[in-house]
Amino acid sequence: MSGRVPSGRALVIVGPYLWLLLFFLAPLAIVLKIAFSEALIAQPPYAPLFARSSDGALTIQLNFHNFLFLVRDDLYFRAYLNSARIALIATLLCVVLGYPVAYGIAHASPAARNVLLMLVILPFWTSFLLRVYAWIGILKNNGLINNLLMAVGIIDQPLVMMQTDFAVYLGIVYSYLPFMILPLYARLQRLDHTLWEAAADLGCRPHKAFLTVILPLSLPGVVAGSMLVFIPAVGEFVIPALLGGPDTLMIGRVLWDEFFANRDWPVASAVAIAVLILLVAPITVLQFTHGREAER
């Protein structure tokens, strides 16, 4: 002990750290523990990791079977890849759709800007689950879109939209678009408009000024928004479960099935840990390299 009196600053920091320790790190440790134990038909459905043998010595039984199983059965790897693919495409769609919206809001008049920002945030007033449910009513065979198109006479057969990848993309893009727009807006709004003028003045046509000046400068916003969309989209369970078909393979659903249908907690935990490592590792690297860039 250094014997120093804890300063106010330390006290302020202790709160969040304690919170993270109790509600993030401890549960994670439990999941990690379960991932290394053996499945049992019991309550709880896994074997204890630590045990006392007959001579009283403490033994630790680490079981790598669960992870080996993930590697052997290619279902998990396919589900992971498919999740990453869907999340990536959805993220790109969010960038393409969100960038013009963010740009438009950033350049609107201050009064209009507040209204537009409000509109972006407005969906959060309704539960996420309800909003995804609402899409079923819109997309299903006798739903809003099909009924409308048939009434007008554009189609005679309902378009199959529910339980397709299309519906999953739609759900993810719809749900996560605000998380792309808001950080992008924050970034674009800070950019000095005279940079456009300076580029034009130096002989740059508008589209090139965008590509060489505005886009590079807004990249931190794109990266921040992409993180906020990609990470939750990879592990998304509700959207593929409600809107996707049986063949929409996503890791979140696999995990759910392992946990609740198969009651194989150790494998489910191993899946969770594996996804965490496969997601966290590349993103940490990205954040580290990008964070140094953005420090300026």
Give contact residues for another protein (rule: CB under 8 A).
Answer: 192, 194-195, 197-205, 208, 212-213, 216-217, 296
Q: Shortest distance, CB of residue 206 to another protein, whole angstroms?
A: 8
Between residues 199 and 254, which has the closer beta carbon with respect to another protein? 199
Between residues 145 and 214, which has the closer beta carbon with respect to another protein? 214
Between residues 121 and 198, which has the closer beta carbon with respect to another protein? 198
Residue with tokens 């998304």: 236
Between residues 52 and 292, which has the closer beta carbon with respect to another protein? 292
Between residues 38 and 197, which has the closer beta carbon with respect to another protein? 197
Angstrom distance (rounded) from CA 59 to CA 41? 22
Backbone angles phi, psi at 39, to 5 degrees: -75, 140
Q: Shortest distance, CB of residue 214 to another protein, whole angstroms?
A: 10
Between residues 148 and 211, which has the closer beta carbon with respect to another protein? 211
Q: Shortest distance, CB of residue 280 to another protein, whole angstroms?
A: 28
Q: Shortest distance, CB of residue 210 to another protein, whole angstroms?
A: 13
Residues 6+ apart with CB under 8 A from 272: 31, 35, 255
Within 24-164, where are the H helices?
Answer: 26-35, 65-72, 74-106, 110-121, 128-139, 144-152
- Whether 246 contacts 163, CB under 8 Å: yes
Residues 6+ apart with CB under 8 A from 159: 145, 146, 149
- Please tell me what DSSP assigns to residue 7: P
Angstrom distance (rounded) from CA 227 to CA 292? 17
Q: Which helix (H) or strand (E) holds 51?
A: strand 50-52
Q: Shortest distance, CB of residue 242 to another protein, whole angstroms?
A: 42
Q: Shortest distance, CB of residue 294 to another protein, whole angstroms?
A: 11
Nearest to 171 by CA among 264, 242, 110: 242
- Whether 117 contacts 178, CB under 8 Å: no
